[in-house]
Amino acid sequence: MLKSKFEELVDIVKKLRKECPWDREQTNDSIKAATIEEAYEVVDAIDKKDYDELKKELGDLLLHIVFHSIIAEEDNKFKLEEVIDSIKEKLIHRHPHVFGDVKVNNSSDVKRNWEMIKLEEGRESVLEGIPEHLPSLQKAHRLQEKAAKVGFDWKRKEDVWKKVEEELNEMHEAENNKSIIEIEEEIGDVFFSLVNYARFIGINPEYALRKTNHKFINRFSYIEKSLKEKDKKIGESSLEEMDFYWNESKKLF
């Protein structure tokens, strides 16, 4: 049943490529931004625990995978079957503890083996494979994760935190004596060290910051709503008034 439904989806996309003017015009480049947007919408649905929405968004993302593959097939680059074969082979090859005779004790062993297998496949560096345009916070986390998987990591969280404090001090010193470029570099070091601390204690910094952003939006929107109820515009209100409603919002969000 699942196979036939997937084949139906492929047939629909192929029909659209032939008969719909918009679909026919699209290229891998023209829809790549929409592909990224669909991935973020999947994450939004997961964050909201909205499984009806997640079902729809996963469908949209699956459509993009099929769409990209069919476009590539038309250009004689590769076929959809090759996409499926590629991921099947990768999953089997990188899970020798499931499909082979390798023994592992825990998920850390699995992660370490995964990185070593990628090097055996021809990668020059453990850090290869991280998308160039990945958001910087998430990219810092992935870089640190990959290095840690092969043993390049701190032993104690107290030492990781000392590094955060060290970078903060260097940032403050740079504010007094250095150029904007050097200050920017020190602030980057602060972010990187804080991301590393979050990773070390088991917190995904991307998720943590996303929650804080959402909390800020809710609280600031509360300020705007409260002022509007008093026929006031936020740009004409005092900081004291805004602080009052901000503190009220903390009881709600």
DSSP of 138-149: HHHHHHHHHHHH
Q: Retrieve residue 37's tokens.
A: 């947007």
Query: What average pLDDT values come out for the chain (253 residues) when binned by 10 residues?
Result: 88 96 97 94 94 97 97 96 95 94 90 85 86 91 93 95 96 89 95 97 94 95 94 91 95 92
What is the model's pLDDT at position 95? 95
What is the model's pLDDT at position 25? 96
Residue 18 CA: distances (Å) to CA of 72, 87, 231: 15, 28, 56
Q: Mutual orientation of helices 180-200 and 136-149 as an angle, nearest 10°?
A: 50
Yes or no: say if 26 and 71 are a contact pair by the CB < 8 Å rule.
yes
Residue 173 CA: distances (Å) to CA of 167, 183, 193, 194: 10, 9, 17, 18
Yes or no: say if 101 and 68 are a contact pair by the CB < 8 Å rule.
no
* Helix (H/G/I), strand (E/B), else coil: 121: coil
Q: Retrieve residue 34's tokens.
A: 């929409």
Provide the 8-state DSSP code for 130.
Answer: S
What is the model's pLDDT at position 126? 87
- CA dist., res. 130 & res. 160, Å (int): 23
What is the model's pLDDT at position 114? 85
Q: E strands along 10-118, which residues?
A: none
What is the model's pLDDT at position 98? 94
Exposure of 209 by Cβ count < 10 A (0-12 exposed, 13-18 middle, 19+ buried)?
Answer: middle
What is the model's pLDDT at position 40? 92
What is the model's pLDDT at position 99? 94
Torsion angle, CA of 37/38/40/43, rounded to 10 degrees?
170
Q: Which long-range contacts (CB under 8 A, 24 or more apart) does 34-40 make?
A: 34/64, 35/61, 35/64, 35/68, 38/64
* Helix (H/G/I), strand (E/B), else coil: 227: helix
